[in-house]
Chains A and B, each alone.
Chain A
Amino acid sequence: MRCQRVRELLSPYIDLVLPDEERNKVEEHLAACESCRKDLAELQRAVNRIREMEKLEAPSDFMGKLHERLLEEKIAPFDRHRRKSHLVNNTSGWLVASVASIALIFGIYISSLLPFPVVASFFDKIPQFVSSQDSELRNNIEKFLKDKKQQMQMALNNQQSETPDVKEGPTQVVKNPKPQQVAEVPPDEPAGQVEEFVTPILINTVNLELSADDVDQVAKSIKQLAEASGARVETTNNQLMAGASKVMTVRVTPEKLSSVVAGIQSFGCEAQPMHTTQDLTQDYKNIKDRISEVEKEINRLQSLEELNADENNKLQAMLFEKSYLENKIAEMEANTQLVAVNVVITEEPEH
Protein backbone atom coordinates (compact mmCIF):
# COMPACT_ATOMS: atom_id res chain seq x y z
CA MET A 1 0.00 0.00 0.00
CA ARG A 2 1.28 3.44 -0.92
CA CYS A 3 1.64 6.31 1.53
CA GLN A 4 -1.03 8.39 -0.18
CA ARG A 5 -3.62 5.62 0.08
CA VAL A 6 -2.71 4.96 3.71
CA ARG A 7 -3.16 8.63 4.58
CA GLU A 8 -6.66 8.55 3.12
CA LEU A 9 -7.45 5.61 5.37
CA LEU A 10 -6.03 7.00 8.60
CA SER A 11 -9.25 8.77 9.47
CA PRO A 12 -11.47 5.64 9.30
CA TYR A 13 -8.57 3.74 10.87
CA ILE A 14 -8.68 5.78 14.08
CA ASP A 15 -12.47 5.40 14.14
CA LEU A 16 -12.06 1.61 13.95
CA VAL A 17 -14.36 1.32 10.98
CA LEU A 18 -11.97 -0.19 8.44
CA PRO A 19 -12.68 -3.73 7.26
CA ASP A 20 -10.16 -6.21 8.69
CA GLU A 21 -8.30 -6.69 5.44
CA GLU A 22 -7.70 -2.98 4.89
CA ARG A 23 -6.91 -2.46 8.52
CA ASN A 24 -4.17 -5.12 8.35
CA LYS A 25 -2.67 -3.52 5.28
CA VAL A 26 -2.63 -0.10 6.94
CA GLU A 27 -0.96 -1.54 10.02
CA GLU A 28 1.65 -3.33 7.94
CA HIS A 29 2.47 -0.09 6.18
CA LEU A 30 2.58 1.90 9.42
CA ALA A 31 5.03 -0.56 10.93
CA ALA A 32 7.42 0.20 8.13
CA CYS A 33 6.78 3.90 7.42
CA GLU A 34 7.79 6.53 9.93
CA SER A 35 6.30 9.42 8.00
CA CYS A 36 2.83 7.84 8.01
CA ARG A 37 3.17 7.00 11.71
CA LYS A 38 3.86 10.67 12.35
CA ASP A 39 0.78 11.64 10.34
CA LEU A 40 -1.30 9.17 12.32
CA ALA A 41 -0.11 10.59 15.64
CA GLU A 42 -0.84 14.13 14.49
CA LEU A 43 -4.25 13.20 13.19
CA GLN A 44 -5.13 11.50 16.47
CA ARG A 45 -3.97 14.57 18.38
CA ALA A 46 -5.99 16.92 16.19
CA VAL A 47 -9.10 14.78 16.53
CA ASN A 48 -8.62 14.63 20.30
CA ARG A 49 -8.41 18.41 20.41
CA ILE A 50 -11.76 18.68 18.68
CA ARG A 51 -13.32 16.02 20.87
CA GLU A 52 -12.11 17.77 24.02
CA MET A 53 -13.93 20.96 23.17
CA GLU A 54 -16.40 22.08 25.76
CA LYS A 55 -19.97 20.82 25.47
CA LEU A 56 -21.84 24.08 25.39
CA GLU A 57 -25.22 24.58 26.95
CA ALA A 58 -28.06 26.67 25.62
CA PRO A 59 -28.38 30.08 27.32
CA SER A 60 -30.71 30.33 30.28
CA ASP A 61 -33.32 32.32 28.36
CA PHE A 62 -33.40 29.80 25.51
CA MET A 63 -36.56 28.00 26.57
CA GLY A 64 -38.29 31.29 27.36
CA LYS A 65 -37.60 32.58 23.88
CA LEU A 66 -38.73 29.32 22.37
CA HIS A 67 -41.94 29.56 24.36
CA GLU A 68 -42.62 33.01 22.91
CA ARG A 69 -42.03 31.75 19.41
CA LEU A 70 -44.19 28.70 19.90
CA LEU A 71 -46.94 30.92 21.20
CA GLU A 72 -46.59 33.03 18.10
CA GLU A 73 -46.78 29.90 15.99
CA LYS A 74 -50.03 29.18 17.68
CA ILE A 75 -51.38 32.66 17.08
CA ALA A 76 -50.28 32.76 13.46
CA PRO A 77 -50.65 29.19 12.27
CA PHE A 78 -47.90 28.08 10.03
CA ASP A 79 -49.04 25.49 7.61
CA ARG A 80 -50.41 26.44 4.25
CA HIS A 81 -53.76 24.88 4.83
CA ARG A 82 -54.50 26.73 8.01
CA ARG A 83 -52.89 29.96 6.89
CA LYS A 84 -55.45 30.27 4.18
CA SER A 85 -58.27 30.00 6.66
CA HIS A 86 -60.35 32.91 7.72
CA LEU A 87 -58.99 32.85 11.24
CA VAL A 88 -55.56 34.12 10.34
CA ASN A 89 -56.77 37.24 8.67
CA ASN A 90 -58.47 38.21 11.89
CA THR A 91 -55.39 37.40 13.87
CA SER A 92 -53.07 39.48 11.74
CA GLY A 93 -54.56 42.79 12.79
CA TRP A 94 -54.11 42.10 16.47
CA LEU A 95 -50.72 40.66 15.99
CA VAL A 96 -49.61 43.67 13.97
CA ALA A 97 -50.80 45.93 16.75
CA SER A 98 -49.11 43.83 19.36
CA VAL A 99 -45.83 43.34 17.55
CA ALA A 100 -45.76 46.96 16.45
CA SER A 101 -46.22 48.33 19.93
CA ILE A 102 -43.53 46.02 21.27
CA ALA A 103 -41.23 47.11 18.47
CA LEU A 104 -41.96 50.73 19.20
CA ILE A 105 -41.49 50.51 22.95
CA PHE A 106 -38.39 48.43 22.57
CA GLY A 107 -37.19 50.92 19.96
CA ILE A 108 -37.48 53.74 22.45
CA TYR A 109 -35.70 51.68 25.06
CA ILE A 110 -32.69 50.84 22.94
CA SER A 111 -32.68 54.31 21.46
CA SER A 112 -31.56 55.54 24.83
CA LEU A 113 -28.62 53.20 24.83
CA LEU A 114 -27.28 53.07 21.33
CA PRO A 115 -25.97 55.43 18.67
CA PHE A 116 -28.49 56.65 16.15
CA PRO A 117 -27.46 54.60 13.11
CA VAL A 118 -27.96 51.51 15.20
CA VAL A 119 -31.35 52.60 16.37
CA ALA A 120 -32.41 53.62 12.90
CA SER A 121 -31.43 50.27 11.51
CA PHE A 122 -33.53 48.58 14.17
CA PHE A 123 -36.48 49.88 12.26
CA ASP A 124 -35.24 48.13 9.15
CA LYS A 125 -35.80 44.80 10.75
CA ILE A 126 -38.87 42.87 11.53
CA PRO A 127 -39.06 41.01 14.79
CA GLN A 128 -37.86 37.53 14.24
CA PHE A 129 -40.90 35.84 15.63
CA VAL A 130 -43.02 37.08 12.75
CA SER A 131 -43.48 34.16 10.43
CA SER A 132 -41.67 34.79 7.19
CA GLN A 133 -44.49 33.10 5.35
CA ASP A 134 -47.13 35.54 6.39
CA SER A 135 -46.53 38.22 3.82
CA GLU A 136 -49.50 40.37 4.75
CA LEU A 137 -48.44 40.57 8.34
CA ARG A 138 -44.87 41.30 7.38
CA ASN A 139 -45.93 44.02 4.97
CA ASN A 140 -47.99 45.74 7.62
CA ILE A 141 -45.20 45.65 10.14
CA GLU A 142 -42.69 46.73 7.54
CA LYS A 143 -44.81 49.76 6.73
CA PHE A 144 -45.19 50.61 10.39
CA LEU A 145 -41.48 50.36 11.06
CA LYS A 146 -40.67 52.40 7.97
CA ASP A 147 -42.92 55.20 9.18
CA LYS A 148 -41.25 55.08 12.59
CA LYS A 149 -37.84 55.28 11.05
CA GLN A 150 -38.81 58.35 9.06
CA GLN A 151 -40.16 60.00 12.19
CA MET A 152 -36.92 59.33 14.00
CA GLN A 153 -34.84 60.61 11.14
CA MET A 154 -36.85 63.82 11.12
CA ALA A 155 -36.45 64.18 14.85
CA LEU A 156 -32.73 63.66 14.48
CA ASN A 157 -32.46 66.30 11.75
CA ASN A 158 -34.34 68.79 13.91
CA GLN A 159 -32.14 68.13 16.84
CA GLN A 160 -28.93 68.34 14.85
CA SER A 161 -29.90 71.76 13.53
CA GLU A 162 -30.49 72.88 17.11
CA THR A 163 -27.35 71.38 18.65
CA PRO A 164 -24.34 71.59 16.38
CA ASP A 165 -22.07 69.93 18.96
CA VAL A 166 -21.36 66.69 17.17
CA LYS A 167 -19.25 65.24 19.95
CA GLU A 168 -22.23 64.66 22.12
CA GLY A 169 -24.03 63.09 19.20
CA PRO A 170 -23.96 59.34 19.25
CA THR A 171 -25.64 58.56 22.49
CA GLN A 172 -27.69 61.64 23.14
CA VAL A 173 -29.28 62.10 19.80
CA VAL A 174 -32.25 59.83 20.00
CA LYS A 175 -33.29 60.48 23.53
CA ASN A 176 -35.80 63.16 22.74
CA PRO A 177 -37.89 61.86 19.91
CA LYS A 178 -40.28 59.82 21.92
CA PRO A 179 -43.08 58.88 19.63
CA GLN A 180 -46.35 59.99 21.07
CA GLN A 181 -48.44 57.06 20.05
CA VAL A 182 -47.59 54.67 22.78
CA ALA A 183 -48.53 54.90 26.40
CA GLU A 184 -48.94 58.60 26.36
CA VAL A 185 -48.34 60.31 29.62
CA PRO A 186 -50.51 63.39 29.81
CA PRO A 187 -48.17 66.38 29.86
CA ASP A 188 -50.11 68.17 32.53
CA GLU A 189 -51.45 66.11 35.35
CA PRO A 190 -54.58 67.55 36.90
CA ALA A 191 -53.68 69.68 39.91
CA GLY A 192 -53.95 68.02 43.26
CA GLN A 193 -53.46 64.50 41.96
CA VAL A 194 -50.87 62.55 43.91
CA GLU A 195 -48.12 61.53 41.55
CA GLU A 196 -46.98 57.97 41.77
CA PHE A 197 -43.37 57.64 42.85
CA VAL A 198 -41.24 55.92 40.27
CA THR A 199 -37.75 54.72 41.13
CA PRO A 200 -35.34 56.37 38.71
CA ILE A 201 -33.93 53.91 36.22
CA LEU A 202 -30.43 55.14 35.56
CA ILE A 203 -27.92 53.22 33.55
CA ASN A 204 -24.30 54.20 33.40
CA THR A 205 -22.95 53.61 29.95
CA VAL A 206 -19.57 53.72 28.31
CA ASN A 207 -19.46 53.88 24.53
CA LEU A 208 -16.58 52.53 22.50
CA GLU A 209 -16.06 52.33 18.79
CA LEU A 210 -13.66 49.86 17.23
CA SER A 211 -12.58 49.11 13.69
CA ALA A 212 -11.46 45.64 12.76
CA ASP A 213 -10.53 43.54 9.77
CA ASP A 214 -12.47 40.62 11.08
CA VAL A 215 -15.49 41.88 12.97
CA ASP A 216 -16.63 38.43 14.09
CA GLN A 217 -13.27 37.54 15.45
CA VAL A 218 -12.93 40.74 17.45
CA ALA A 219 -16.47 40.32 18.74
CA LYS A 220 -15.63 36.83 19.86
CA SER A 221 -12.47 37.97 21.61
CA ILE A 222 -14.35 40.76 23.37
CA LYS A 223 -16.96 38.30 24.47
CA GLN A 224 -14.32 36.03 25.91
CA LEU A 225 -12.60 38.84 27.68
CA ALA A 226 -15.88 40.13 29.08
CA GLU A 227 -17.06 36.74 30.20
CA ALA A 228 -13.76 36.08 31.90
CA SER A 229 -14.60 39.12 34.05
CA GLY A 230 -18.05 37.78 34.79
CA ALA A 231 -19.74 40.32 32.52
CA ARG A 232 -22.93 39.61 30.63
CA VAL A 233 -22.72 40.15 26.89
CA GLU A 234 -25.53 40.93 24.48
CA THR A 235 -24.63 41.07 20.84
CA THR A 236 -27.15 42.76 18.66
CA ASN A 237 -25.61 42.02 15.31
CA ASN A 238 -27.69 40.75 12.44
CA GLN A 239 -30.80 42.10 14.05
CA LEU A 240 -29.70 45.70 14.23
CA MET A 241 -26.92 46.40 11.82
CA ALA A 242 -26.60 45.37 8.26
CA GLY A 243 -23.26 44.40 6.75
CA ALA A 244 -20.11 43.61 8.60
CA SER A 245 -20.80 45.45 11.82
CA LYS A 246 -21.65 44.35 15.27
CA VAL A 247 -22.98 46.11 18.30
CA MET A 248 -22.23 44.56 21.63
CA THR A 249 -23.39 45.56 25.04
CA VAL A 250 -21.21 44.28 27.81
CA ARG A 251 -22.87 44.60 31.19
CA VAL A 252 -20.30 44.65 33.87
CA THR A 253 -20.13 45.42 37.59
CA PRO A 254 -18.70 48.88 38.41
CA GLU A 255 -15.65 47.23 40.04
CA LYS A 256 -14.67 45.41 36.87
CA LEU A 257 -15.44 48.31 34.54
CA SER A 258 -11.98 49.78 34.06
CA SER A 259 -10.26 46.48 33.35
CA VAL A 260 -12.95 45.41 30.88
CA VAL A 261 -12.85 48.76 29.06
CA ALA A 262 -9.07 48.68 28.87
CA GLY A 263 -9.21 45.13 27.52
CA ILE A 264 -11.75 46.03 24.86
CA GLN A 265 -9.76 49.09 23.85
CA SER A 266 -6.73 46.91 23.25
CA PHE A 267 -8.59 45.35 20.32
CA GLY A 268 -8.20 48.52 18.31
CA CYS A 269 -9.98 51.51 19.75
CA GLU A 270 -8.56 54.88 18.86
CA ALA A 271 -11.07 57.25 20.38
CA GLN A 272 -11.50 57.79 24.10
CA PRO A 273 -14.45 56.03 25.64
CA MET A 274 -17.47 58.24 26.16
CA HIS A 275 -19.17 58.03 29.55
CA THR A 276 -22.81 58.92 29.91
CA THR A 277 -25.66 58.22 32.23
CA GLN A 278 -28.88 57.23 30.59
CA ASP A 279 -32.11 58.01 32.32
CA LEU A 280 -34.56 55.35 31.29
CA THR A 281 -37.13 56.27 33.90
CA GLN A 282 -39.57 57.59 31.32
CA ASP A 283 -39.15 54.56 29.07
CA TYR A 284 -39.58 52.33 32.06
CA LYS A 285 -42.73 54.17 33.01
CA ASN A 286 -44.04 54.00 29.46
CA ILE A 287 -43.62 50.26 29.42
CA LYS A 288 -45.26 49.96 32.83
CA ASP A 289 -48.17 52.08 31.63
CA ARG A 290 -48.53 49.97 28.55
CA ILE A 291 -48.54 46.84 30.69
CA SER A 292 -51.35 48.18 32.81
CA GLU A 293 -53.34 49.12 29.69
CA VAL A 294 -52.80 45.64 28.34
CA GLU A 295 -53.74 44.12 31.68
CA LYS A 296 -56.98 46.06 31.77
CA GLU A 297 -57.88 44.81 28.34
CA ILE A 298 -56.93 41.26 29.26
CA ASN A 299 -59.13 41.44 32.36
CA ARG A 300 -61.99 42.82 30.34
CA LEU A 301 -61.69 40.06 27.77
CA GLN A 302 -61.31 37.37 30.38
CA SER A 303 -64.40 38.55 32.20
CA LEU A 304 -66.54 38.08 29.10
CA GLU A 305 -68.61 34.95 29.23
CA GLU A 306 -67.83 33.87 25.75
CA LEU A 307 -65.20 35.13 23.36
CA ASN A 308 -65.68 35.23 19.63
CA ALA A 309 -62.78 34.31 17.36
CA ASP A 310 -61.65 37.92 17.02
CA GLU A 311 -61.71 38.56 20.74
CA ASN A 312 -59.91 35.34 21.42
CA ASN A 313 -57.14 36.30 18.99
CA LYS A 314 -56.85 39.68 20.60
CA LEU A 315 -56.56 38.06 24.02
CA GLN A 316 -53.77 35.79 22.83
CA ALA A 317 -51.88 38.69 21.31
CA MET A 318 -52.29 40.76 24.47
CA LEU A 319 -51.08 37.94 26.72
CA PHE A 320 -48.08 37.60 24.50
CA GLU A 321 -47.37 41.31 24.60
CA LYS A 322 -47.76 41.41 28.38
CA SER A 323 -45.27 38.65 29.00
CA TYR A 324 -42.81 40.20 26.58
CA LEU A 325 -43.02 43.62 28.24
CA GLU A 326 -42.76 42.16 31.72
CA ASN A 327 -39.54 40.49 30.72
CA LYS A 328 -38.25 43.83 29.46
CA ILE A 329 -39.08 45.47 32.78
CA ALA A 330 -37.25 42.78 34.72
CA GLU A 331 -34.28 43.16 32.40
CA MET A 332 -34.18 46.95 32.81
CA GLU A 333 -34.31 46.63 36.59
CA ALA A 334 -31.47 44.14 36.60
CA ASN A 335 -29.41 46.34 34.29
CA THR A 336 -29.42 49.32 36.66
CA GLN A 337 -26.97 47.43 38.88
CA LEU A 338 -24.45 47.19 36.07
CA VAL A 339 -22.57 49.50 33.75
CA ALA A 340 -23.38 49.06 30.08
CA VAL A 341 -20.35 49.17 27.83
CA ASN A 342 -21.63 49.65 24.30
CA VAL A 343 -19.16 48.57 21.68
CA VAL A 344 -19.73 49.26 18.01
CA ILE A 345 -17.36 47.27 15.81
CA THR A 346 -17.23 48.22 12.17
CA GLU A 347 -15.34 46.49 9.46
CA GLU A 348 -12.21 48.13 8.19
CA PRO A 349 -11.29 46.39 4.96
CA GLU A 350 -7.74 45.21 4.57
CA HIS A 351 -5.57 47.34 2.32
Chain B
Amino acid sequence: MLLGQDEDLIKLSIQGDIRAFEQLAEKYQHKIYNLAYRYMGCEEDASDMAQEALIKAYRSLATFKGESSLSTWLYRITTNVCLDELRKRRRTLHMISLDEPVATVDGDEIERDIADPSPTADIIYQKKETEVYIQSLINKLKPEQKAVVILRDVMGLTYEEIAEVLNCSIGTVKSRLSRGREILRKKIVKQELLP
Protein backbone atom coordinates (compact mmCIF):
# COMPACT_ATOMS: atom_id res chain seq x y z
CA MET B 1 0.00 0.00 0.00
CA LEU B 2 2.95 2.29 0.44
CA LEU B 3 4.30 4.52 -2.20
CA GLY B 4 7.96 3.79 -2.87
CA GLN B 5 9.03 7.22 -1.73
CA ASP B 6 7.25 6.96 1.61
CA GLU B 7 8.80 3.57 2.15
CA ASP B 8 12.32 4.92 1.70
CA LEU B 9 11.61 7.85 3.97
CA ILE B 10 10.22 5.55 6.65
CA LYS B 11 13.34 3.38 6.54
CA LEU B 12 15.58 6.42 6.87
CA SER B 13 13.43 7.83 9.69
CA ILE B 14 13.69 4.60 11.64
CA GLN B 15 17.44 4.92 11.40
CA GLY B 16 17.12 8.31 13.09
CA ASP B 17 17.18 10.56 10.02
CA ILE B 18 15.12 13.54 11.20
CA ARG B 19 15.12 15.15 7.75
CA ALA B 20 13.51 12.07 6.22
CA PHE B 21 10.81 12.05 8.86
CA GLU B 22 10.22 15.75 8.35
CA GLN B 23 9.58 15.11 4.66
CA LEU B 24 6.91 12.62 5.63
CA ALA B 25 5.48 14.97 8.23
CA GLU B 26 5.41 17.84 5.77
CA LYS B 27 3.36 15.77 3.38
CA TYR B 28 0.72 14.88 5.97
CA GLN B 29 0.90 17.90 8.31
CA HIS B 30 -2.20 19.67 7.02
CA LYS B 31 -4.42 16.62 7.13
CA ILE B 32 -3.22 15.71 10.60
CA TYR B 33 -3.69 19.26 11.77
CA ASN B 34 -7.17 19.48 10.27
CA LEU B 35 -8.10 16.20 11.93
CA ALA B 36 -6.72 17.34 15.29
CA TYR B 37 -8.52 20.66 14.95
CA ARG B 38 -11.86 18.99 14.43
CA TYR B 39 -11.31 16.85 17.52
CA MET B 40 -10.03 19.61 19.76
CA GLY B 41 -11.95 22.60 18.43
CA CYS B 42 -9.23 25.23 18.69
CA GLU B 43 -6.02 26.02 16.90
CA GLU B 44 -3.54 25.87 19.72
CA ASP B 45 -4.78 22.51 20.95
CA ALA B 46 -4.87 21.23 17.38
CA SER B 47 -1.30 22.27 16.85
CA ASP B 48 -0.14 20.71 20.14
CA MET B 49 -1.98 17.45 19.48
CA ALA B 50 -0.79 17.22 15.87
CA GLN B 51 2.78 17.74 17.07
CA GLU B 52 2.28 15.13 19.74
CA ALA B 53 0.89 12.67 17.21
CA LEU B 54 3.81 13.16 14.86
CA ILE B 55 6.33 12.74 17.65
CA LYS B 56 4.57 9.52 18.66
CA ALA B 57 4.62 8.39 15.05
CA TYR B 58 8.35 9.10 14.89
CA ARG B 59 8.94 7.08 18.03
CA SER B 60 6.92 4.11 16.91
CA LEU B 61 7.64 4.13 13.20
CA ALA B 62 9.52 0.86 13.57
CA THR B 63 6.25 -0.82 14.51
CA PHE B 64 4.54 0.35 11.32
CA LYS B 65 4.27 -2.73 9.16
CA GLY B 66 2.67 -1.23 6.10
CA GLU B 67 -0.50 -3.28 6.47
CA SER B 68 -2.59 -0.15 6.27
CA SER B 69 -1.70 3.03 4.44
CA LEU B 70 0.62 5.43 6.21
CA SER B 71 -2.12 8.07 6.31
CA THR B 72 -4.54 5.67 8.02
CA TRP B 73 -1.85 4.79 10.53
CA LEU B 74 -1.16 8.49 11.20
CA TYR B 75 -4.88 9.21 11.59
CA ARG B 76 -5.08 6.41 14.09
CA ILE B 77 -2.29 7.89 16.19
CA THR B 78 -3.77 11.39 15.92
CA THR B 79 -7.20 10.10 16.88
CA ASN B 80 -5.81 8.28 19.91
CA VAL B 81 -3.79 11.28 21.04
CA CYS B 82 -6.77 13.61 20.73
CA LEU B 83 -9.33 11.28 22.28
CA ASP B 84 -7.01 10.51 25.20
CA GLU B 85 -6.58 14.21 25.82
CA LEU B 86 -10.32 14.84 25.56
CA ARG B 87 -11.09 12.01 27.97
CA LYS B 88 -8.55 13.40 30.40
CA ARG B 89 -10.18 16.81 30.24
CA ARG B 90 -13.65 15.35 30.38
CA ARG B 91 -12.81 13.74 33.67
CA THR B 92 -11.62 17.01 35.12
CA LEU B 93 -14.01 19.46 33.50
CA HIS B 94 -17.21 17.38 33.48
CA MET B 95 -18.06 18.49 29.98
CA ILE B 96 -21.62 18.02 28.92
CA SER B 97 -22.29 15.95 25.86
CA LEU B 98 -25.06 16.99 23.47
CA ASP B 99 -27.08 13.86 23.98
CA GLU B 100 -26.57 13.57 27.71
CA PRO B 101 -29.43 14.75 29.87
CA VAL B 102 -28.71 18.34 30.82
CA ALA B 103 -29.65 19.87 34.14
CA THR B 104 -31.13 23.03 32.65
CA VAL B 105 -34.16 22.05 30.67
CA ASP B 106 -35.76 23.10 27.40
CA GLY B 107 -34.43 25.13 24.53
CA ASP B 108 -31.52 26.86 26.25
CA GLU B 109 -28.91 24.42 25.07
CA ILE B 110 -28.13 26.06 21.78
CA GLU B 111 -27.69 29.50 23.27
CA ARG B 112 -25.27 28.03 25.71
CA ASP B 113 -23.27 26.28 23.02
CA ILE B 114 -22.63 29.22 20.77
CA ALA B 115 -21.36 32.72 21.17
CA ASP B 116 -23.52 35.77 20.73
CA PRO B 117 -23.84 36.65 17.08
CA SER B 118 -21.28 39.21 16.13
CA PRO B 119 -22.56 42.71 15.44
CA THR B 120 -20.23 42.96 12.43
CA ALA B 121 -21.59 39.93 10.65
CA ASP B 122 -21.23 39.97 6.90
CA ILE B 123 -21.48 37.13 4.43
CA ILE B 124 -17.94 35.86 4.85
CA TYR B 125 -18.28 36.17 8.56
CA GLN B 126 -21.58 34.31 8.50
CA LYS B 127 -19.97 31.38 6.75
CA LYS B 128 -17.31 31.37 9.44
CA GLU B 129 -19.98 31.60 12.10
CA THR B 130 -21.73 28.56 10.68
CA GLU B 131 -18.47 26.65 10.76
CA VAL B 132 -17.84 27.75 14.32
CA TYR B 133 -21.33 26.66 15.22
CA ILE B 134 -20.99 23.24 13.61
CA GLN B 135 -17.59 22.82 15.22
CA SER B 136 -19.15 23.65 18.58
CA LEU B 137 -21.70 20.90 18.01
CA ILE B 138 -18.98 18.43 17.07
CA ASN B 139 -17.09 19.45 20.21
CA LYS B 140 -19.99 18.31 22.34
CA LEU B 141 -20.43 14.87 20.83
CA LYS B 142 -19.30 11.85 22.77
CA PRO B 143 -15.73 10.95 21.81
CA GLU B 144 -16.66 7.75 19.95
CA GLN B 145 -19.36 9.51 17.92
CA LYS B 146 -17.15 12.49 17.32
CA ALA B 147 -14.44 10.23 15.92
CA VAL B 148 -16.66 8.54 13.32
CA VAL B 149 -18.30 11.79 12.21
CA ILE B 150 -14.95 13.53 11.79
CA LEU B 151 -13.27 10.60 10.06
CA ARG B 152 -16.18 10.12 7.69
CA ASP B 153 -17.55 13.57 6.96
CA VAL B 154 -14.50 15.77 7.51
CA MET B 155 -11.70 13.45 6.42
CA GLY B 156 -13.70 11.46 3.90
CA LEU B 157 -12.54 8.01 5.00
CA THR B 158 -14.44 4.88 3.99
CA TYR B 159 -16.20 2.76 6.61
CA GLU B 160 -13.43 0.17 6.28
CA GLU B 161 -10.73 2.76 6.88
CA ILE B 162 -12.58 4.17 9.87
CA ALA B 163 -12.90 0.67 11.33
CA GLU B 164 -9.14 0.32 10.92
CA VAL B 165 -8.39 3.67 12.52
CA LEU B 166 -10.67 3.01 15.47
CA ASN B 167 -9.92 -0.70 15.68
CA CYS B 168 -13.59 -1.63 15.70
CA SER B 169 -16.04 -3.43 13.43
CA ILE B 170 -17.75 -1.87 10.42
CA GLY B 171 -21.09 -2.45 12.16
CA THR B 172 -19.90 -0.33 15.07
CA VAL B 173 -18.81 2.41 12.69
CA LYS B 174 -22.23 2.34 11.06
CA SER B 175 -24.21 2.59 14.27
CA ARG B 176 -22.00 5.26 15.87
CA LEU B 177 -22.08 7.34 12.72
CA SER B 178 -25.82 7.02 12.49
CA ARG B 179 -26.24 8.16 16.09
CA GLY B 180 -23.71 10.99 15.84
CA ARG B 181 -25.19 12.35 12.63
CA GLU B 182 -28.69 12.14 14.06
CA ILE B 183 -27.69 14.34 17.00
CA LEU B 184 -26.07 16.86 14.67
CA ARG B 185 -29.06 16.82 12.31
CA LYS B 186 -31.44 17.79 15.09
CA LYS B 187 -29.20 20.58 16.34
CA ILE B 188 -28.42 21.98 12.90
CA VAL B 189 -32.06 21.95 11.83
CA LYS B 190 -33.07 23.60 15.09
CA GLN B 191 -30.50 26.34 14.54
CA GLU B 192 -31.65 26.90 10.95
CA LEU B 193 -35.18 27.47 12.15
CA LEU B 194 -34.08 30.22 14.48
CA PRO B 195 -34.49 33.77 13.18
Instruction: State whether these chains interact.
Output: yes
Complex CA distance for A55 and B152, rounded to whole angstroms: 14
Complex CA distance for A275 and B22, rounded to whole angstroms: 42
- Contact B43–A50 (Cβ < 8 Å): no
- Contact A49–B118 (Cβ < 8 Å): no
Interface of A, helix, strand, loop or mixed by DSSP: helix
B 20-36 binary contact with A (CB < 8 Å = 1; else 0): 01100110011011100
Given contacts A57-B33, A58-B47, A216-B41, contact A70 B178 (CB under 8 A): no
Q: Tell yes or no: B50 within 8 A of A by CB.
A: yes
Q: Tell yes or no: B90 within 8 A of A by CB.
A: no
- Contact B154–A221 (Cβ < 8 Å): no
Q: Within the complex, what minimum Cβ distance (angstroms) separates A160 from chain B?
A: 32
Stretch among A71-79, A96-104, A170-178, A292-300 lining the B interface? A71-79
Q: Within the complex, what minimum Cβ distance (angstroms) separates B89 from chain A?
A: 10
Q: Tell yes or no: B188 within 8 A of A by CB.
A: yes
Cross-chain contact of A46 among B18, B156, B178, B189 (Cβ < 8 A): B189
Q: Could you say which of B22, B114, B115, B152 has the most chain A C-beta atoms within 10 Å of its C-beta? A: B115
Q: Tell yes or no: A28 within 8 A of B by CB.
A: no
B 109-140 binary contact with A (CB < 8 Å = 1; else 0): 00011111011100011001011101110100
- Contact A217–B30 (Cβ < 8 Å): no
Q: Tell yes or no: A237 within 8 A of B by CB.
A: yes
Q: Within the complex, what minimum Cβ distance (angstroms) separates A24 from chain B?
A: 18
A 210-251 binary contact with B (CB < 8 Å = 1; else 0): 000110111111011100100000010110000010000000
Q: Within the complex, what minimum Cβ distance (angstroms) separates A347 from chain B?
A: 10
Complex CA distance for A48 and B54, rounded to whole angstroms: 30
Q: Within the complex, what minimum Cβ distance (angstroms) separates A309 from chain B?
A: 16
Given contacts A11-B177, A50-B184, A65-B51, contact A237 B33 (CB under 8 A): no
Cross-chain contact of A70 among B18, B47, B112, B153 (Cβ < 8 A): B18
CB-based nearest B residue for A237:
B44
CB-based nearest B residue for A43:
B185
CB-based nearest A residue for B130:
A49
CB-based nearest B residue for A228:
B125
- Contact B178–A11 (Cβ < 8 Å): yes
Q: Within the complex, what minimum Cβ distance (angstroms) separates B21 from chain A?
A: 7
Q: Tell yes or no: B45 within 8 A of A by CB.
A: yes
Interface residues of A toward B: which range? 35 or more
Complex CA distance for A59 and B44, rounded to whole angstroms: 10
Q: Which residues of A contact B135 (CB under 8 A)?
A: 53
- Contact B136–A50 (Cβ < 8 Å): no
Cross-chain contact of A63 among B29, B38, B149, B159 (Cβ < 8 A): B29
- Contact B159–A17 (Cβ < 8 Å): yes
Q: Tell yes or no: B42 within 8 A of A by CB.
A: yes
- Contact A55–B59 (Cβ < 8 Å): no
- Contact B178–A12 (Cβ < 8 Å): yes
- Contact A235–B43 (Cβ < 8 Å): yes
Q: Which residues of B contact A218 (CB under 8 A)?
A: 115
- Contact A53–B134 (Cβ < 8 Å): yes
Q: Which residues of A contact B2 (CB under 8 A)?
A: none
Q: Which residues of B contact A228 (CB under 8 A)?
A: 120, 124-125, 128
Q: Within the complex, what minimum Cβ distance (angstroms) separates A249 from chain B?
A: 12
Docked complex: A1-58 residues within 8 A CB-CB of B: 7-12, 15, 17, 39, 42-43, 45-47, 49-51, 53-58
Cross-chain contact of A79 among B51, B59, B152 (Cβ < 8 A): B59
Q: Tell yes or no: B55 within 8 A of A by CB.
A: yes
Q: Within the complex, what minimum Cβ distance (angstroms) separates A346 from chain B?
A: 15
Q: Tell yes or no: A197 within 8 A of B by CB.
A: no
Docked complex: A200-216 residues within 8 A CB-CB of B: 213-214, 216
Given contacts A46-B188, A50-B134, contact A66 B25 (CB under 8 A): yes
Q: List 26 A-B contacts (CB under 8 A).
A: A8-B178, A9-B178, A10-B178, A11-B174, A11-B178, A11-B182, A46-B181, A49-B134, A49-B188, A50-B149, A53-B131, A53-B134, A56-B33, A57-B30, A58-B47, A62-B50, A62-B51, A63-B25, A63-B26, A67-B18, A70-B58, A73-B59, A216-B41, A238-B44, A266-B119, A267-B115
Known: A59-B43, A70-B58, A73-B58. 19 other contacts (CB 8 A): A11-B177, A12-B177, A15-B159, A17-B159, A45-B189, A49-B188, A56-B30, A56-B37, A57-B34, A58-B50, A62-B29, A62-B33, A216-B42, A220-B132, A221-B115, A223-B43, A225-B118, A238-B44, A238-B45
